[in-house]
Amino acid sequence: MGLSTQEAGKMTRVEGEGEYTDIRGLEWSGNFHFTAAPDLKLKLHM
């Protein structure tokens, strides 16, 4: 699993490959990336 987080102003971009469990406990697999502001819930784009 490769996971990288980059700060860009107030936005956080995360992308990776492998398995990922989000804040709601949902499990994802494959390539993913999402961008979120600190005060917003994360949206995952597969």
Q: What is the pLDDT of residue 18?
A: 72
Q: What is the pLDDT of residue 46?
A: 47
Cross-strand pairs, 34: 14
Does 5 have pLDDT greater than 50? yes
The three state secondary structure string of 1-46 is CEEEEEEECCEEEEEEEEEEECCCCCEEEEEEEEEECCCCCCCCEC
- pLDDT, tens digit, for every residue of 7-32? 445 556 667 677 777 778 887 777 76
Mean pLDDT of the chain: 64
